Structure 1
C-alpha cells in the first residue's frame, strides 16, 4: 500500500514524501533533522557577496546591490518550486515609497514572496519572514559595503532553507516564505505585505519574523548556542477602549494571540529541537527597537520575532573598520551556521505543526463568575476542517505562570464545563486537535486572545 501511494504521488507530480507521511509527530522530528547548516552557510555567503543590499542601492547590476540580491532570491525560490513540481507560487511584491525620512525620493521597495498553498484550508496562512536589506552606520549610505551577514542574511537564509525542507511535504494550511525589503528604512516590506494580506482576505494565524539568528557571542561576553529569544506583544495594539475596559476585569494582558503563539513555539523547542531553550520576552521587540513582525501586529495578525539571545552591537549597523583594536562590521565571521540551522529548524517544525493542525478555534468565550465551575465555549470548525479535527483541548494555568500547566481533552464538542475549577484562580484557553494529535496554538477567551475567524 505504501509503495502504491508513492507511485501515485509521482504520477501526480507531488513530492513522494508528502503522500507517504501526512503530518505526524515523527515527521516533525524528520523536518528538524533535514535542515542543513551547510546550505545556510552557502546562502549567507551568496547574500554577502552582493556587497550591499541597502534598499536604496543599485538595482541594475547583476552582481552588486539589492536588485541583484532579490533576483537571486527569486531564482532560488523558483528552483525550489521546480524541485517540488511547482508547489510554490513565487512572485515579487512591490510598492513605490517616497516622502519618508529614510526614503525621501521615490524608490520601489520589492520583496520576494513564495506561497505553498494548503490542501484543505488554503485561506489560512502561516508566514516565515526574513529581511533582504542591509546597512552601515549611516542609514542613508547606499554605496558602502554592508555585508549584513547576520543582520539579516542569516534570517533570510533560514527562510530559503525552510522552504527547501517544507516544500517536500503537503499541508492543510498555506505556508508562506517571505523575503521582505525595506526593513532598515522603516519596515516597509512588512507593511506592504500586511496591507495586501488584508486586501486579499488572508486568514493569517502566525508570522514568524527571523531577524538575526546566527550570532552566539554577545557583546556582554556571553557565548551560548543553546538559547533563543521570542519577542511578542502583550495587549493587542488594535484594542478599542471598550475592549480595554472589559480586559481590565477579565484579564488577557499576557494572552494576546502573539503571546500564545510564542508559548506554542516555546513548547515546540522543548519537544523537537535538541539543546535549544527559548526565552519568551514579554515585549514587542528589543527595548525601543523594531522589526518586521510589527506591521503584522499593527494589521491585527499574530506575529513574533525569533532571534539570537546574545547580540553583539559592534557587528550591527556598523561601517567596516577597526578602531582602538576593536573590529566593527557585520561580517561572515560573526555567524555560527550550526546555530542558525537550529533556529531555522525551530521555524520549520513550528510551521509544519501549525499547518498540519487545525486552525485555532474561533469565538472562544468563558463564563463562571461566582460559580464553582468554569465553562468554555467556541464556534464549530469551518466545513473545510471538519474532517481534520478530532476534538478540542482546554488548557489552564495559574495567573503568574508563563506556560500552560494543566489540560483536558474534551472531544469534538463546542463547549465544556470544568467542574470545581474556579474561574478566579486561573487563566484559560482552548486548542484545536487534529486526528494526528497535533494541536493549534491555545486561544485565550474573548477579543483579547482571538486569532481571528
Structure 2
C-alpha cells in the first residue's frame, strides 16, 4: 500500500504540473476545431503494475534461458537440461505458476505442429509455442499479443549443437512476455491479452506464422501485436548508448491489402495511416511517461535493412503489429559463434545485457498492452463521405455493442505531422459532420471508455 500511495502522489504531482502548464496562454497550432490532444497517462492500477517490473527477475529469466546451452530450433527436444525442449518446458512451467494466481482467468497452452523440411529445416521438426492467455472480462474475442522468440542461433543457421546463448536475441524479449504475464495475471483486462513465447524465428518465423495463421483461421479479432526482439542492450558496437530510448518499427501499407484497398488508401493520401501506423501512434502516446521513463522512437518501415521479425507474420494476416528493438545493435553479439577474435568478444552473451534497460522496455510494452486491453476496440468500418464537393467533412462508423463505451472522439492533424494532435469529442454517436476540410488534414475516430481509456484511432476509407 505504501508503494501505491507513493505512486499516486507522484501521479498527482505529474498531472497537476501538466495541468498548470496547459493553463498558461500559448498559441495553439494547428488552428481549427477541437482541443489540443493530451497524451493518455497511466491510471493508478497501471502505474502500480509497471512499478512491479523487476530488473532482477528479468536477469533471472535470461540467466536461466542461457543455461540451456543452446535453444536452436534443431537442438534436442527431449534432453532435460540442454536444448530447446528443456527451455520450452521451463518456460511453460513458469507461465503455469503465474496462471495459478489468476483464479482461472489465465490459461497456458503449448500449441505445436510439425514443420516439414525447408531451406533452414533439414528434417521434419516440431515447432512449439508457449502462450499464456489472460481472458478479457467483456470482450474476450478482442485480442492483443505481446511476443518474444525463445529459439537462438550461432553463425551457421543450421548448427543446432554448439552453444548459442541468445541472451539478447531473444531471451530479452521472452523475459518481457514472462514478466508481464506474472504481473498482470491477477488483474482483469476488458479485452484478452496473449503473452506469447514463440519458436522457429531464426529458421523462418515459423512459430509466429503458426500462431498468427491459427488466430486468423479461428476468427479472433487481433487488434494489436507487439514484438520484442533484441531489446536487452542499451550500448551499440561503437560505444554509443541510449539507455532511455527504444526503437519501434512500424510497417506502412499492409502486405495483406488488395490492389483496390491500396488504391483507396492512396487516393486520400493515407499511406502514412495504415492500421499498424495507428497502433504505433497509440503506443507512442501511452508509453512515453513518468512511469516508463522511456522515449519511443517511431521508425516508419517494417524492420531494419536485411532483417525481419515475428511481427511480419501478423502483418501478413492483416493484423496491426509493431516491432521493438534496442537503439544501437552490436552485430558482434548477434548470430555469432562464441569466440574471441582480434581482441573482440563475439557471441550473444549475458554479459552484454542491461537488465534495467530491458525492464524499462517491459514497462513500455505493459503501458501499451494494458491501455489497449482496457480501452474499447478501434472503431470499425469508418468512412469519410466523398460523394459531394464540400468544405465540411462527414464521418460514419459502425455501432459498437460494448456497453462500456462512453462516446467517440475525432482526432486530426496536419497531413505532414506524425502524431494526432487535435481532438474533438462528438458523443455517443456513429456519424458526425465537422467544419473541417478533409482536403487539408488527416482525420480519424477513436472510442472512449467509461473508464477513461481511449482506443487507437481508425482511419477512414473514402465512401
After TM superposition, the score normalised by the length of structure 1 is: 0.91
Residues 1:31 and 2:53 aligned together: no
By how many angstroms is 1:160 displaced? 0.2
Q: Distance in 2 between matches of 1:221 and 1:260?
A: 34
By how many angstroms is 1:446 displaced? 2.1
Q: Which residue of 2 aligns with 1:10?
A: none
Q: Is the 8 A contact 1:374 1:423 kept in 2?
A: yes
Q: Which residue of 1 aligns with 2:334?
A: 316
Question: Which secondary structure does the structure 1 equivalent of 2:110 belong to?
Answer: strand
By how many angstroms is 1:86 displaced? 2.9
Structure 1 residues not aligned, in runs of 5+: 1-22, 449-453
Q: Which residue of 1 aligns with 2:3?
A: none
Which deviates more from structure 2 when the two are superposed, residues 88-97 or residues 137-146?
A: 88-97
**Equivalent residues in 2 for 1:178-257 (5 A)?**
178-257=196-275
Question: Which secondary structure does the structure 2 equivalent of 1:115 belong to?
Answer: strand
By how many angstroms is 1:272 displaced? 5.0
Question: Which secondary structure does the structure 1 equivalent of 2:174 belong to?
Answer: helix
By how many angstroms is 1:393 displaced? 0.9
Q: Distance in 1 between matches of 2:462 and 2:157?
A: 39
Q: Distance in 1 between matches of 2:211 and 2:187?
A: 25
Please give the per-residue CA displacement for 1:51-94, whole angstroms capped at 9, x wherever unaligned. Answer: 00000001111110000000000000100011222322111111
Q: Is the 8 A contact 1:24 1:436 kept in 2?
A: no
By how many angstroms is 1:43 displaced? 0.4
Q: Distance in 2 between matches of 1:347 and 1:279?
A: 14
Residues 1:414 and 2:441 aligned together: no
Residues 1:263 and 2:290 aligned together: no
Q: Which residue of 1 aligns with 2:83?
A: 65
After TM superposition, the score normalised by the length of structure 2 is: 0.89
Q: Which residue of 2 aligns with 1:442?
A: 457
Q: Distance in 1 between matches of 2:357 and 2:237?
A: 17
Q: Distance in 2 between matches of 1:403 and 1:422?
A: 18
Q: Is the 8 A contact 1:234 1:254 kept in 2?
A: yes
Question: Which secondary structure does the structure 2 equivalent of 1:252 belong to?
Answer: coil
Structure 2 residues not aligned, in runs of 5+: 1-40
By how many angstroms is 1:338 displaced? 0.6
Q: Is the 8 A contact 2:176 2:362 kept in 1?
A: yes
By how many angstroms is 1:321 displaced? 0.5
Q: Distance in 2 between matches of 1:45 and 1:447?
A: 52
Which deviates more from structure 2 when the two are superposed, residues 111-120 or residues 365-374?
A: 365-374
Q: Is the 8 A contact 1:29 1:272 kept in 2?
A: no
Residues 1:371 and 2:390 aligned together: yes
By how many angstroms is 1:310 displaced? 1.0
Residues 1:398 and 2:398 aligned together: no
By how many angstroms is 1:390 displaced? 0.4
Residues 1:424 and 2:439 aligned together: yes
Question: Which secondary structure does the structure 1 equivalent of 2:72 belong to?
Answer: coil
Question: Which secondary structure does the structure 2 equivalent of 1:416 belong to?
Answer: strand
Q: Distance in 2 between matches of 1:35 and 1:389?
A: 30
CA distance 1:398–1:79, shift in 2 (3 Å): same
Q: Distance in 1 between matches of 2:100 and 2:290?
A: 29
By how many angstroms is 1:171 displaced? 1.1
By how many angstroms is 1:252 displaced? 1.5
Q: Distance in 1 between matches of 2:181 and 2:354?
A: 20
Q: Which residue of 2 aligns with 1:6?
A: none
CA distance 1:423–1:102, shift in 2 (3 Å): same
By how many angstroms is 1:274 displaced? 4.1
Question: Which secondary structure does the structure 2 equivalent of 1:317 belong to?
Answer: coil
**Equivalent residues in 2 for 1:1-150 (5 A)?**
25-150=43-168
Residues 1:279 and 2:297 aligned together: yes
Q: Pairwise CA RMSD of aligned residues?
A: 1.5
By how many angstroms is 1:242 displaced? 1.6
Q: Is the 8 A contact 1:393 1:407 kept in 2?
A: yes
Partner residue of 1:358 out of 373, 376, 396: 376
Q: Distance in 2 between matches of 1:447 and 1:199?
A: 28
By how many angstroms is 1:447 displaced? 8.7
Question: Which secondary structure does the structure 2 equivalent of 1:70 belong to?
Answer: helix
Please give the per-residue CA displacement for 1:278-313, whole angstroms capped at 9, x wherever unaligned. Answer: 111110011121100101100110111012111111
Question: Which secondary structure does the structure 1 equivalent of 2:308 belong to?
Answer: coil
Q: Distance in 2 between matches of 1:257 and 1:25?
A: 26
Q: Which residue of 2 aligns with 1:153?
A: 171
Q: Distance in 2 between matches of 1:341 and 1:168?
A: 20
Q: Distance in 2 between matches of 1:344 and 1:125?
A: 19
Q: Is the 8 A contact 1:31 1:349 kept in 2?
A: no
Please give the per-residue CA displacement for 1:122-169, whole angstroms capped at 9, x wherever unaligned. Answer: 011000000010000000000000000000000001100000111121
Q: Distance in 1 between matches of 2:150 and 2:306?
A: 22
